[in-house]
Chains A and B, each alone.
Chain A
Amino acid sequence: MSQTNLGTYAQNTWCPGCGNFAILNAIKMVLGELNAEGVPLENIVLVSGIGCHAKIVDYLNVNSFYSIHGRAVPAAEGIKLANPDVKVIGFAGDGDAYGEGIEHLVFAAKRNIDITMIIHNNRVYGLTTGQYTPTSPLSFRGRSTPQGTAELPINPLEIMLASGATYLARGTSHGIELLKKIFKEAILHKGFSLVDVLQVCVTYFNMYDYYDKRVYELKDHNSQDYYQAFNKIREWDYDKDAPIALGTFYKKEIPTFEDRFFLKKKSKMTDRDLKIRELLKRSI
């Protein structure tokens, strides 16, 4: 199937210049490629939260679950466990995934469940017209903070690394080739993968120039090395001026949640388990 068949009749309502277009176009190309390589499109399920980002599932003619704010991750995990043969790709915003839903993200990473989360990190609530999010820089002036925020942002990749994520990457909405590459890597990675996309909200927090001046692609970086990944992730803290690394920070193959969960279910019950079950049957 060519990428043009992936669209729907839904009218696109993102602002002109929105960074979401880069994510949409990159994922279209990746889905087209995966399909050409033998992954049936019906074996792919997209999940989104609530926010400007979430409209992406309306624009793609693929199975989807347009969930609620902060809850893209549990919906994605449920779909994966119900049918481990499908590829589940979750889209969420920074307010969505790093704010209200961060506990789900932490636990999905901890479990190493084989889903991919693509975070449209524009560092502002765009749909609700410009409030600060967990990744807005210190002193950010928004609708809810006219005097500027008095708190530092979180570094989501650092939290994800500490939580046990096994694939971590970063891209920007000015760099569709890189997005394509890391989206595909993330989707094919067996285990929990997250791509933080510095996706620019052109209306409420236009960072195109800021990012263009500071981003660089990781080179001679060993993504198998936890401490190299840790240091590169900490190079920029989403607040102070620093070079902003793009590309794959960390990649490690370890057993996934499904590997362990389904192995456990299949393994024969021991005598002890049977006896406990028998006892329960008698007493209930």
Chain B
Amino acid sequence: IKVNSYEHDEYGITTEDSKQTVLMQDKRMQKEKYLQEELEKFETVKVYGNRDASVSLLCWGSNKGVCVELAERLGIKVIQPLVLWPFPTEQFQSALSGVKKLVCVESNATGQLTRLMKMLGFNVDGQILKYDGRPFSFDELEARTRGILK
């Protein structure tokens, strides 16, 4: 068995041949399709709070806790994708069912998840960003969410 971090042929030996390089690259690209199929067997998008609500927060990573707590208070939904690529489109779409307003909560200045959503053709109706190096407090997130939902 040969493992190789360089471009390599099917035996595992390094290659600089351009035709071989394209062939191997094409072969690797096909793996994404199977990875996506495999991922459908797992829970890749989590939903919390009121599943029938027409308003949902969208978050990832460590903002989940505070978002869920707030959603339970306000009677809204939270959608948290666990996998970002290959994006779990099917599971995400079913999580979105009934949602009319989607608000993305993120701890960065550029709204990275919102950008990804837009790239994939999903609409994000509002953004709550925090990038002062501190996590969201419940009170702050509540005030900002109420502000957006007004």
Contact = CB atoms under 8 A, between A and B. Distances in A.
B76 to A, nearest CB: 27
A55 interface: yes
A63 B2 contact: yes
B18 to A, nearest CB: 16
Number of chain B interface residues as a range: 10 to 19
A66 B6 contact: yes
Contact of B5 (A55, A63, A66): A66
Contacts of A66: 2-6, 8, 12, 14
A58 B13 contact: yes
Number of chain A interface residues as a range: 10 to 19
B5 A50 contact: yes
A9 B2 CA distance: 14
A10 B5 contact: no
Given A10-B13, A58-B14, A64 B5 contact: no
B7 to A, nearest CB: 11
Interface of A: 8-10, 50, 55, 57-58, 63-68
23 contacts: A8-B11, A10-B14, A50-B5, A55-B14, A57-B2, A58-B13, A58-B14, A63-B1, A64-B1, A64-B2, A64-B3, A64-B12, A65-B2, A65-B3, A66-B2, A66-B3, A66-B4, A66-B5, A66-B6, A66-B12, A66-B14, A67-B3, A67-B5
Interface of B: 1-6, 8, 11-14
